[in-house]
Structure 1
């Protein structure tokens, strides 16, 4: 019998207690596991400690799967214990594994091997931002990070804006928190006044900010403080 791969969400914000945003049913799954495939060992250990896992943290096995992990042999090594019957939990640094997250590599490997994959319920910043934006939730695309260089980023913004206008599809993207202010300034400079722009920062944290206005309206307002705050941006109509 193969083991089972559980996708374990964790809080989006490190200022949020796990059981304030996670269903109680997740606790039994977490307590039953001793093997975890994680994006960052220190972050995962802290999450499991705050979650009150029933086993001593030092008895658990942690293997990292992040942007430095090469697809192929390294991923197959992570899956090997499941083939031997040991179940595993995948934990991202924040939110749900496998979405905008390297956890998808091990999930794909499990599907190739016929290993059962079970997603657990938990917060996704992408979906929560879209839920609260008032923009089109029937058709949307997550575009990850935009280019860093201003000319290339401006072209990417215009392309997303055109797609939002032509297809009515909400366009979601993110930026490194320390570059949020530069992205915001360029969005207001590049986009048409009638384009809608939503921003969702610090989702689920006490400092949560979620607001949607047209670009023209945003230009009349004081810029939101987005410096070093994890945020989702959405363009729509």
Structure 2
């Protein structure tokens, strides 16, 4: 029996907030056609995956009705701790999730927004697919980190995604200073994210902590009508406190710093 393939299916960056936008505004025809043919899914969140498939179905008929789509969720530990590090338990779970592919079914790996396994869980499934000889095919679509970096004016030749910083104020300050030192020493842009309800606090900490000459960029609500991107030196941020209030920081955002 031929093995199925694992498609990495990107989803709109709106998290379903503004599903009135046609999905064709986010995803190219080839990606939508591939997604419409799939009936087996590995999902970060089954509810959001069903909402995504409903939007696909409005453009291209699904190969199976929504109720018949087979959707399995990633383990909860992959959400809380990530699954980027080798872990025997996560590997077993990932292999089990790929059972339909071993039976010949093509499968889709999908996150709540953007590209799965990039700043989102899913890498354990990708590793397991390679180990099992399952072909991995990434599809074209939005990746918030790359969109934000391209719009920042920071170094797109050397950069690092560092995820979240500590919530504790003292630990956060220490971490931000360390990231700034790395960024300036290596000329390497540093990209970080935060839960939306803590975005404003993180931006305030960045403006307060970083050196005046460091460039700080924020891209919030990427792809949404409320999208806003601001890139300037920390000195300029301090001179224009209203900038922070003008950004839609209640939406997902990417924060970037560098020389």
3-state SS in 1 of match to 2:142? coil
- In the TM superposition, residue 211 of structure 1 has moved relative to its aligned partner by 1.1
Q: Distance in 2 between matches of 1:36 and 1:79?
A: 9
- In the TM superposition, residue 226 of structure 1 has moved relative to its aligned partner by 4.3
Per the alignment, residue 17 of structure 1 pairs with 22
- In the TM superposition, residue 71 of structure 1 has moved relative to its aligned partner by 0.2
Q: Distance in 1 between matches of 2:189 and 2:249?
A: 24
Q: Deviations over 1:76-121 (max 9, x none)?
A: 1101111111110011000011101111111100001111000000
Matched, 1:107 2:107: no
In the TM superposition, structure 1's runs of 4+ consecutive aligned residues that sit over 4 Å from their partners are none
Q: Is the 8 A contact 1:3 1:82 kept in 2?
A: yes
Matched, 1:57 2:66: yes
- In the TM superposition, residue 201 of structure 1 has moved relative to its aligned partner by 0.2
Instruction: Give the unaligned 5+ runs of structure 1.
Output: none
Instruction: Give the unaligned 5+ runs of structure 2.
Output: 79-88
Matched, 1:145 2:164: yes
Q: Is the 8 A contact 1:11 1:17 kept in 2?
A: no
Q: Distance in 1 between matches of 2:32 and 2:197?
A: 34
- 2:32 is aligned, of 27, 43, 68, to 27
- In the TM superposition, residue 140 of structure 1 has moved relative to its aligned partner by 0.1
- 1:202 is aligned, of 204, 215, 221, to 221
Q: Distance in 2 between matches of 1:63 and 1:51?
A: 19
Q: Distance in 2 between matches of 1:94 and 1:120?
A: 14
Q: How large is the Cα RMSD of the aligned pairs?
A: 1.2
Per the alignment, residue 46 of structure 2 pairs with 41
Task: Using structure 2 for the length normalisation, give the TM-score.
Answer: 0.88
Q: Deviations over 1:146-197 (max 9, x none)?
A: 0110111001100111111111000000011101111111111111100000
